[in-house]
Structure 1
Amino acid sequence: MRPVRTAVAGALLGALTLAGCGQSDDTAGTSATAPATPAASAQAAGFPVTVQAGNGAVTIPAKPSRIVSISPTATETLFAIGAGPQVVAVDDQSDHPAEAPKSDLSGYKPNAESIIDRKPDLVVLANDTGGVVAALTKVGIPVLLEPAATKLEESYDEISDLGAATGNTAKAGQVVADMQSRIQQLAAAAPKDKKLTYFHELDNTPFSVTSGTFIGQIYGMFGLTNIADKAPDAAGGYPKLSTEFVAEADPDLIFLADTKCCGQSKQTLAKRPGWGGLSAIKKDQVFPVDDDIASRWGPRVVDFAEIVDAAVRKAAA
């Protein structure tokens, strides 16, 4: 059990300092009468393609067949959009889906040499730790830096980026459309008569999130008010709150995204100084959220929205 929610603090807090991703655009086409050469086949599949990622415009010359993902979110996305068979290795933090090819590649401290040994024709990263992007680019490997999303639109954009980069544009578009539709349906149907407040816990220090994050954005869609928005230091959207601050705010709902990393539950919260009398604890409005689902900005954002929806409905009943 890790005492600090490193997966979030590293993947989210660190990645937020990086540039965002952009739209993808095709840079080559082919005529219907083009000869069936390897180059023409690549063009017919939509390659080469240029993607605007966090590290700028990246051109992928041909459909990649040896993708290395050093990002749990990217790994989930690649498999969701149909690029799973193209993935040859993922980092040691990528645990979903189960069929993702396991490896000892570090997700926290990516090693360029270890990645190069896998002979990738595309590498996807969430963080440029230790200058790994430059090291891989130097040897001619296309690299997509897809940092932590700060809002849902960036999540959708990154899925579209990976679709274009892997030759799975149509499937990626469908994934995005399905996500948007489902989240909008849930939010529109959610009861909003009660003005409920909430506290989202990233780890037991406790770190939280503001409404300016993609996590907070989802809560906002369900009409919830975030107590962390009044924190003295917003800390880029991920403030560290004091136990006194949370106790004084007395949120109606508490969401625990540190059940796996830190073993937190309603029972452990009740033992914290001043928390035993919190409304959410007394009224059984403490909701566990899978740490990974709550910290990754890929297709399973929908699962997170469904958890929020169920909590709001329970509180409104």
Structure 2
Amino acid sequence: MSRRFPLLLVSLLVLLAGCASHQPDEDSSARPDTEAVFPVTIGSVTIDRQPTRIVSLSPSATETLFALGAGPHVVAVDSQSDYPPEAPHTALSALSPDPEAIAGYRPDLVIASADTNGLSAALAKTGVQTLVMPDAKTLDDAYAEFVELGKATGHQAEGESLARQTHSDIDKIVADTPKPAKPLSFYYELDQTYYSVTSKTFIGQVLARFGLTNIADGNDPSVSGGYPQLSAERILQANPDLVFLADSKCCGQNAQTVAARPGWNTLTAVKDGQVFALDDDIASRWSPRVVELVRAVADAVTRVNHAG
């Protein structure tokens, strides 16, 4: 996907952790799946044969590739792809991709979330295809991209199964979560400067499945592309029932640091112990681990219901 500013900010903060670098390995290519049917066309890209040396420049795609069973074909992933642990982590940048460095891994397919700085054209000169998989804007988009990545890598059946299972798991979690006796409002924090998400974003739509009211929506959920910067005054005035922190890993935010902010100890969410720290990575990706995000929100809503 094309990165929106707040998610770029979170990504850049995560980059500080760094990842170990791997050199190209002559023996790392996996044998192609003889049952795979090629060529396949994904968007405007036609893949003639099953790729056996894949470079992923998208953390969401990396997680999905391994969930599909295509992990043995992945020879390098970008510095932000920190899951699963067995992924071949490198110093490759997804934000400022270096075609020469990428080509050094001798890929036969590169997967990226955006065609940054003409990456596709640059790699095409070396005979390498680039498949751009934009960040999902809805859950349905995510399911569709599971299927597309499956087709592109010779794992179409697995992609279709993964999409069905993820859809089913999310529907069941939502259905099994007790509905609040009264409407609950929430504030979703991307960083300490109060960037948030509206219901028009992928994450906002996930939370909307629980019937929660998003204080960032205001009169226009499309404002700032769905990623508005709120003010402390606006948040205090809205007095949300729940606070979700998607800046816990990058920035050390938790219930205690939120309560220590000037005036925030008066918020219902703080007074009632309803500030919930999320895993930053899971909360910013459209991979199959979105199920874990849905489960975390369900647990929070259930806890609030029981407290009430």
Relative to the length of structure 2, the TM-score reads: 0.87
Contact 1:10–1:108 (CA<8 Å) still a contact in 2? Answer: no
Q: Which residue of 2 aligns with 1:310?
A: 299
Q: Tell me the equivalent position of 1:274.
A: 263
The equivalent position to 1:217 in structure 2, one of 181, 205, 214, is: 205
**Within 1, Cα distance between the matches of 2:194 and 2:120?**
32
Partner Cα distance (1:86, 1:251) in 2: 46
Amino acid in the other structure paired with 1:134 = A
| Residue 9 of structure 1, CA deviation | 2.7
Alignment partner of 2:266: what SS? coil
**Residue matched to 2:36:** 45
Normalising by structure 1, report the TM-score.
Answer: 0.84
The 2-side partners of 1:258 and 1:279 are apart by: 20
Matches within 5 A, 1:287-298: 287-298=276-287
Do the aligned residues in 2 keep the contact of 1:256 with 1:287 (CA within 8 Å)? yes
Indicate whether 1:8 and 2:13 are aligned: no
**Cα offset, 1:274, TM superposition:** 2.3
Q: Deviations over 1:76-115 (max 9, x none)?
A: 0000000000000000111000000111111221111111
Which of 150, 153, 166 does residue 163 from structure 1 map onto?
150
Query: Do 2:10 and 2:250's aligned partners in 1 also have CA atoms closer than 8 Å?
Result: no
Aligned-residue Cα RMSD (Å) equals: 2.0
Deviation per residue, 1:255-309 (Å, 9 max, x gap): 0010011111111112223212110000000011000000011100000000000
Cα 1:264/1:163, change in 2 over 3 Å:
same
Q: Which amino acid aligns with 1:283?
A: D
Distance 1:205 1:11 in 2: 12
Residue 246 of structure 1: aligned partner: 235
For the structure 1 residues 11 and 270, does the alpha-carbon distance in structure 2 shift closer, same or farther, using more than 3 Å as the test?
A: closer
Count of paired positions: 281
What amino acid does structure 1 have at the position aligned with 2:64?
T
Unpaired stretches in structure 2, ≥5 consecutive residues: 12-31
- Distance in 2 between residues matched to 1:151 and 1:204, nearest whole Å: 25
Which residue in 1 is equivalent to 2:24? none
Structure 1 counterpart SS, 2:7 = helix
| Aligned residue among 62, 77, 94 for 2:81 | 94
Give 1:111's match in structure 2, choosing from 98, 118, 124. Answer: 98
Map 1:131-150 → 2, pairs under 5 A:
131-150=118-137
1:138 Cα offset (Å): 3.2
Cα pair distance change 1:272/1:11, threshold 3 Å: closer
Structure 1 unpaired stretches of 5+: 13-40
Q: 2-side partners of 1:271 and 1:7: how far apart?
A: 23
